[in-house]
Amino acid sequence: MKFKMKKLVVMLLCIVLCMGMMTGCGKEKEKIIIYSSGEDYKIEYMNNRLKEQFPDYDITIEYVSSGNHAAKLLSEGEATDCDITHDLEYGYMAQLDQAGLLADLSSYDTSVFMEDTLQSSNYLVECRVGGAIIVNTQVLEEKGLAAPTCYEDLLKPEYKGLISMPNPKSSGTGYIFLKGLVNAWGEEAAFEYFDKLTPNVLQYTSSGSGPVNALLQGEVAIGLGMTSQAVTEINNGAPLQIIYFEEGSPYTMYGMGIVKGKEESEIVKEVFDFMVNTLNYETVEKFYPEKVYKDIDYKMENFPENINYSDMSNNTSEEKTRLLEMWKY
């Protein structure tokens, strides 16, 4: 009798343990969705770090090009599945802010950032991204062409079909080249220039990484792209060279924020806190060392020093909307 009772108890314990294990196995992880316009290598790094830091959360980073990123959030509104918007150019961040789609982040310490990076209490700086003229020296040599020394050089017939630039309507990187020349030459002269440049452009790419990718494939000889991306590829052994023209390096800030209403989730806040206070320091040092932190100067092999930046004044969302309405390519 005692033996049967013991056997029954053991069986019941086994059943309870199995049910507990099944419940644990069947429990869904907390989900967090991040929209990001970052480059693939940066997203890969972030994915790995977030999985490492939060193994019990289901964190998805969805890549969306800058223009589509903003349009998607504006269309979805607060009903969006997105919790955190990341690596979005400031002009687009301002649009989201004005639409009331971003949560209040005034509790975060912004004294660590350079003053020129601060624009709103509803989003924080993620990185500073500068543009440059990037050439594939191997392609130029194969075609017997000299590297350009000024914007006017890019209009030469020998460069026909050998230039790549991001489309300002879909890429923050493309827009900074447009805005930089508008500020340097005036609106009429800048748009006339792009009318003349377009026949030499193989493709206006949808993302800022497009020109460097085309350079790496040998599809073009010249790209109007991101300095940081070019340096990363140079350090990987690519035959690229960075050139700055007299007008300087156009640049913009990229930011991150929490979609309004999502800050009420402790899980979202926990992940965002890690992104702001730990992960962003790592990605700036690793990928985008242009200065955003007051007391930190990051160095990267082959990254240009003492960069002469373009005049990027009046870089507001209203101005961006106005200029992009005039862009026809």
pLDDT tens digits, 85-98: 999 989 889 999 99
Are residues 320 and 246 part of one domain? Answer: yes
Distances (CA, A) of 197 to 125, 155, 253: 33, 6, 26
- Give how many domains the chain has, as a whole number: 2
Examine the pLDDT at 3 and tell me if it is beyond 70. no
pTM > 0.85: yes or no: no
Which one-letter amino acid corresponds to residue 31?
Answer: K
Note the helical H segments in 186-226: 187-197, 210-216
Tell me whether residue 298 is in a domain: no
- Name the residue with higher pLDDT: 2 or 11: 11
The domain in which residue 273 lies consists of: 30-128+252-286
Tell me whether residue 77 is in a domain: yes
Q: What is the rounded CA–CA span in Å between residue 77 and residue 4? A: 63
Q: What is the rounded CA–CA span in Å between residue 4 and residue 220? A: 81
CA of residue 249 relative to chain centroid, distance:
17
Tell me whether residue 123 is in a domain: yes
Tell me whether residue 294 is in a domain: no
Burial 8-22 (b: 16+ CB within 10 A, else e): eeeeeeeeeeeeeee
Per the structure block, which two tokens stand in for 115? 């003053």
pLDDT digits (tens, 9 = 90+) for 179-192: 999 999 999 999 99
CB under 8 Å to 203, separation ≥6 — which residues? 164, 210, 214
- Name the residue with higher pLDDT: 145 or 67: 145
- Name the residue with higher pLDDT: 29 or 165: 165
